[in-house]
C-alpha cells in the first residue's frame, strides 16, 4: 500500500533540543518554529512538559506551546511523561499529546520513572482528562511504544510484550499508538514485521505514525519500509538533531531535509518547501553554534531540474 502524500512531523524542537548541551533561547525557538511552519510543516512537536530540573532545554515549553498555537493551520504536538504533564499541556492548548511507554520496562523506569502498570494508570487518567476537555479544544492522545525494536538496556523485547503494551494503551483510552525506534535498532524487515503485528491487535486505523532513528544509517530505509506498509506520518528532526538521553548510543533522528527530499523525489507530496526548510538551519546554527547538523541534501543541494511532488485531494 502506498500513498500520494504523507505527513512529516518535525520533532527537532523537542527530541532534538532536549539532547543538546546548550539551551536554545526562547525567542530563537519561536523564530525556528515559525520558519518551519512557513516552510510547510503542518505538525511540529514543540516541546515536552517535564520538570525543568531534569531538562532545562524544555523549561519554556508552556510559552512555546502558546506561541505555536497562534500559527494558523499548525498541529502543535507535545510529549508528556505523566498526568501532571498532560494537565499542563491541555492548559497550554496543545493539539496532540504523546505519552511514551517503553516496551522495555527497564528503559521505562530509567526514562520516566514508571513501571508499565503505572504508565497505563496515567494513560487512563489522561484519557479521562482529554475526554473532559471542552469542544474544539480536545487534543489527540497518542501512546508511543518506545524501544519497540530493541533496547540498549535489555536487548530485544519479546513481540508478545510489545503487542500487550499496544492493547493496553488502546484499552486505557488512547486514540492511537505509534511505534518508536528509540535506540536505532530497527531494520526494514523488522519494521514491516512489527507494523503488521501491532496492526493485527489494534487495527490499521490505530497505527498510522512511526518515529525512527538513524543510529546505524538505516533511517530512510526503515521509513520506506513503513511507507510501503501504509504508514502515513513520519517523525524526523531538522539536521538529525536528537537521540535518547536514557538509551546509551542512541544518537540521531532521521534528517527532515533528507526525508522530505526522498518523498518528493519519489513523487510523494509532503507539502514542504525544501529550500525554505533548509534555510531554517541558519536559525539553529546561530542559536546553537557548537551543535553539528547533519543531512546529505543540504550539503549537496537540490538536483538540476528538480520538481516537487504534487498530490490531489486533502492533506493527510
Marked catalytic residue, from 151, 165, 174, 244: 244
Concerning whether 20 is annotated as a catalytic residue, the answer is: no
Interior CA angle at 145 toward 56 and 162, to 5°? 145
- Any residues with CB less than 8 A from the CB of 235 and at least 6 apart, and which? 9, 11, 15, 45, 209, 210, 211, 212, 253, 254
> At what angle are helices 159-172 and 116-131 packed, to 10 degrees?
30
- Any residues with CB less than 8 A from the CB of 161 and at least 6 apart, and which? 103
The catalytic residue positions are 244
Amino acid at each position: 500500500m502506498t500513498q500520494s502524500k504523507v505527513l512529516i512531523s518535525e520533532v527537532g524542537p523537542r527530541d532534538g533540543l532536549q539532547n543538546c548541551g546548550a539551551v536554545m533561547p526562547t525567542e530563537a525557538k519561536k523564530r525556528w518554529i515559525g520558519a518551519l511552519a512557513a516552510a510547510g510543516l503542518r505538525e511540529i512537536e514543540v516541546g515536552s512538559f517535564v520538570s525543568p530540573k531534569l531538562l532545562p532545554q524544555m523549561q519554556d515549553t508552556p510559552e512555546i506551546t502558546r506561541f505555536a498555537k497562534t500559527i494558523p493551520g499548525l498541529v502543535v504536538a507535545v510529549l508528556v511523561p505523566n498526568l501532571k504533564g498532560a494537565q499542563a499541556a491541555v492548559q497550554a492548548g496543545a493539539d496532540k499529546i504523546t505519552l511514551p511507554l517503553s516496551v522495555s520496562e527497564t528503559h521505562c523506569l530509567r526514562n520516566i520513572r514508571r513501571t508499565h502498570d503505572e504508565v497505563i494508570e496515567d494513560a487512563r487518567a489522561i484519557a479521562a482528562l482529554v475526554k473532559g476537555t471542552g469542544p474544539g479544544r480536545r487534543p489527540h492522545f497518542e501512546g508511543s511504544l518506545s524501544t519497540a525494536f530493541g533496547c540498549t538496556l535489555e536487548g530485544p523485547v519479546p513481540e508478545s510484550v510489545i503487542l500487550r503494551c499496544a492493547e493496553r494503551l488502546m484499552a486505557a483510552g488512547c486514540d492511537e499508538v505509534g511505534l518508536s525506534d528509540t535506540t536505532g535498532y530497527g531494520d526494514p524487515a523488522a519494521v514491516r514485521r512489527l507494523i503488521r503485528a501491532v496492526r493485527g491487535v489494534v487495527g490499521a486505523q490505530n497505527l498510522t505514525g512511526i518515529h525512527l532513528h538513524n543510529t546505524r544509517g538505516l533511517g530512510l530505509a526503515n521509513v520506506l519500509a513503513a511507507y510501503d506498509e501504509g504508514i502515513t506520518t513520519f517523525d524526523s528532526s531538522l539536521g538529525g538533531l536528537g537521540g535518547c538521553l536514557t538509551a546509551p548510543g542512541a544518537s540521531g533522528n532521521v534528517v527532515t531535509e533528507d526525508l522530505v527530499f526522498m518523498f518528493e523525489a519519489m513523487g510523494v507530496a509532503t507539502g514542504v518547501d525544501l529550500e525554505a526548510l533548509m534555510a531554517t538551519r541558519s536559525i539553529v546554527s546561530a542559536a546553537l553554534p557548537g551543535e553539528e547538523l547533519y543531512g546529505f541534501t543540504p550539503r549537496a543541494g537540490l538536483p538540476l531540474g528538480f520538481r516537487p511532488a504534487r498530490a490531489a485531494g486533502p492533506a493527510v
